[in-house]
Structure 1
Amino acid sequence: MNKLYWLTTLVIFQSFLLNAQSWKISDPYILGSEVNSQAEESTPLFSQDSSILYFTRTYDTRNTGGEWDQDIWYSTRTENGESYNEAQNLKSLNNKFHNAVVGLSSDGNRIYLLDAYGGKKDQEKGLAVAERNNNGSWSSPKRVDIPELKIGGNFYGFYVSPDEKVIIISYKGEAPVGEEDLYYSEFVNGLWTKPEHMGNVINSTGYEIAPFLTSSKDTLFFSSNGFGGFGDADIFYSIKTGSGWKSWSKPVNIGPPVNSSKFDAYINIANDVIYFSSNRDTLRSDIFKTKAIYYCFIGTIRDKESLEPLEGAHLVIKNIEEDNNIVEELYSDSQGKLNGKRLPFGYKDMIDLKIVIEREGYISKSVNLQMKLGDTTEIDLSNLLDVNLTKIEEGKTDLADVIDINPIYFDLNSSVIRPDAAKELDKIVEMMNDNPKIVIELRSHTDSRGSEKYNLWLSDRRAKSSAEYIVSQGISVDRITGKGFGQQVLEHSDEEIAKVKTEAEKERLHQMNRRTEFIIVRMNK
């Protein structure tokens, strides 16, 4: 892309309130033929209400000055807000010189332009402003007086803040660090100050062009070829570190998918939607669109039985891949709702999280969330996981009803813990670690086949063996006991089983009688 057309944007019209250091970006896509053409499109800029997209078009025979001219064009958004109507030439502000919009006032009544309108046209380069007339048209542009602004070359651009308090200028001024550097001018006591160099941190031995400042004025975006990167020119950002305009953090390349191996510049952000210009796919630049994506957790915590929302549930979310570092802590509100903050995850990231949920009077639980992030920015935990909590009723609540645990199997006439049984008992260990106050009685039951004395003896051996295993995994011995009940407490009586027609159904009922329960008998203080 020829540097002649590095004419800087812009004004931001909607708050981009997030720190640029944590934003992630979806895959960009090129705007349709209503905006982009066989010519070159750049410097996207939106009206205050985002209903009109202004941009510059070069190499179009329909331009006021012909194919080699640069004109201002605009396109109105369609009602759905996702597409655009056929672009039109803004003839009242175009002439045979290079024209571009470089800012709009926050009230939309003033439009800032490259000055190509005075007596010397574009020979004396600078900034101009036009006022909106009562009928919506624009007045004749007038030059903005910036003292001691002397632009000798063809490569320059402006950014005007929406409050009209600061102008960022890209040009080769006095004693530059490199080619085009960034300067600033402030509006003080009704006048613009002379341009001041913005310092060596954000200016390189290459060029810095296309500045864009967030509405909070603490994050500056620009394009440069002097800080390394992916191609011809990349988009960078820098964070303001002081009260003035000369203190900035080291520029950070925003990286793919915005930056490519070609020319990428003219970033503009409106309502977390990002527009920029790039020639990645063609010889001439087009306008691309992408979205700044910020993920957050939402959901509702409920009582598992009544499904009533629970206020005051506490969630601790840990990143398993980062040594269980805490990502976020959440509390449910009076409606049981979760409203999380923006998360430090990127577009299409794979996440592996452990979520611990607890509330007084309820069994705490741990659930794991593994997923690949996409375009859905609100991660609804209550849709993805079982986050409802079970109320503790001493002597009644069974942990086997709370967690997904398979039957505890033993070899014939054996009480030795098998590997498959250990895997299931480990789930109880984890649950008891998450609930350090609960005291469990492990109850083992058999079916009615075999002698009652033998079944009672075997079930007691198995119950105590299972409890001993849990203690061996670090649970205090005074928090769990094992007791066998044999065939004393059947889920299905012999009479009930006898009435069943098929042997398979009879065996299913016998199996339901052969069960292990993990009953909460009390809560420690």
Structure 2
Amino acid sequence: MKRITYILFFLCCLTGNITNAQTYPELVKLGDEAMQTGQYSNAVYYYAFTLYKIDQGLEAGYYPYEISTTYEAPHTDNTGAIVPPVNPTDKQIKVIHRLGKAYLLADDYENAEKWLAAAIKYPQEEFPNARFDYADALMQRGDYQAAEQEFTTFSNELTDSLSLFHDKARTKIASCEFARNQAVPDQRIIVEQLEGKMTEGSTNFGIQFTSDSHIIFSSARVKSNSDSTQKKDENFLLDLFIAPVNNGQIGTPEKFPFPLNSNEFHEASPTMSDDGEFIYFTKMNPANKNETQIFGSRKIAGKWIEPFKLGSHVNKEGFRSLTPYFQSSNRRLYFSSNQIGGYGGLDLWYVEVKENGDITEPVNLGSSVNSSEDEISPYFQDHLKLLFYASSGHIGYGGMDIFYNVWDQNTDDFGPMKNLGQPVNSPSDETAFIIDDSYINGYVSSNRAVCTTCDSIYSLRAQCNQIYAVKLPGLKFKISGYVYDKKTNNPIPNARIEFKDITYEWPHFEITSDENGYYEQDLIPNLEAFLRASKIDYFADKALISTLGEIESKNFEQDFYLDRIPDKEITIEGIEYDFDSANLRPESEIVLDKLIEFLELNHNIIVEIRSHTDIRGDDDYNMRLSHRRAKSVVDYLVKHGIPLERLVPKGYGETTPAEITDDQGNTTIMSPEYIESLPNRKAKEEAHQRNRRTTFFVLEQN
């Protein structure tokens, strides 16, 4: 798993004042402490010295400040890397296991594979997951077939049925299968490491856009040889940097001034408000990665004030918080934290930052985003409504991958997670991703390249974070289809298709189908469009087309089927009234709500709302009752937004019996004579019910 802000490479940064030679137990303890505090490269050195101290005898000395030993150098291979001992002793076996794990967590996958391969030859109860770690190292190096075999073996050998590693192994096996089936990267996507000043130092990552043609990012680099405020071991401690961007070209980076960058801590993963007045970032104690918190600062009179630690809603005591992202449009601060209430590891959360600075309770982004492992580096692309982040717990290519979820405005939540795919993702770790509004130009932080500035006397070959430019082919969307007569299935030429962007970011327009009823139209990204097809003498049809969350070009197919407007009335099934009353029953309102939708779609028609009674009762009374009932329907429609000038209420009493047409086209009129001829009371009552109806008739179509 990638460590982005918390690897300290040189022993001279170690805490503790060691001046005397250390014994085997003392060195093992130092290595274990380094593992607990996240100083994995230091642990490599301790365990490596310990291993060869055993080989040379307990009197061999190790002096960390002098980087020297009292015994001759260990055996190495032709690359200069140390090699596992042949026929190791019990003590050496224990250190081999520790060293393999330390190499893995220090992102040195080449050496991790070698040492963990040696470790699994000598199983130890103290290290039950060595084969899992070995398979993980294989996966990080892209050997998916071998990794899948090792994960399967590990799963089969696992004796603890309740172990979390059962689920982890299954996920890893699925990831290996996924990666092998997705082996061919998208050739249209170009991923290239940045050059020049952006590659200086030992690591660069966590890039973010600002609203004023700049980028901000994290880097460990020397500012200048004459800088008196330079940090101790500057080349390996992180600071915040800013650089101008002009036509896609990044200018010379400059370090943010003190007090944002301190002299003792890592500062990383910055995010800035759109107005450039606020900045949030991760701050970490280099001696202990567990002390990782989110700080903020604001600009007053053009100068940044002393950073302040955010409150307990973000920085929970005893837990880590890191990689913030501020969404200015709704003042949401997304961040990663392992605080209680998550799904395991580091989860993504958000809080709302009020105008007065108050911060709301944290909200977990849920299982569609978070997993039992780590999620970091949230980035919400506001224009495209996409949440990007890095995860080690979802099915992917190895280590951390970039995933995204679409924001669903209807549910006010994020949709299902998707892997961004190769070549943005790789067998190594990708830990942050951003993209511009056009979905063409972006950047990804990745450790897919071996670091060339962190080799030691034991040849630590760590995978180091660098920033890569991502060039996407751009999104192209098109919609096409036919307009048909719903009854005959014949194409309708010269039909009108209207396009309305429900967000009003795209101008409304219309096109016309050709002589074959065919139409086509280019669409834009981030569009949710309402389409309406219409033709004189027909009722309209509709469709909703969305390119929201689409990150691949797509051709949509959408046909329309129009009903011809009949020359007779249309019954509105389900309209009921209280007995001897014009009051609508609640169930009738549900039916009328559907009629409202129909009239809104067909906004160019004027209709007569008709009410009919059966033949029982006084003629004049039935006429008055039917008119009141028709008017109650019109009143309901007007109350819910249908213009009165489009509605004409009219009661017909018992004067117009219903007409029933069967499947063969035969029409029967529910006249008094027909009803009287029916064989039983039940059939007669059903006929009376058909006559007691509410209908509408199209008077005019504009």
Q: By percentage of residues, which structure has more helix?
A: 2
Greater RCO (CA < 8 Å, at least 6 residues apart): 1
TM-score normalised by L of structure 1: 0.49
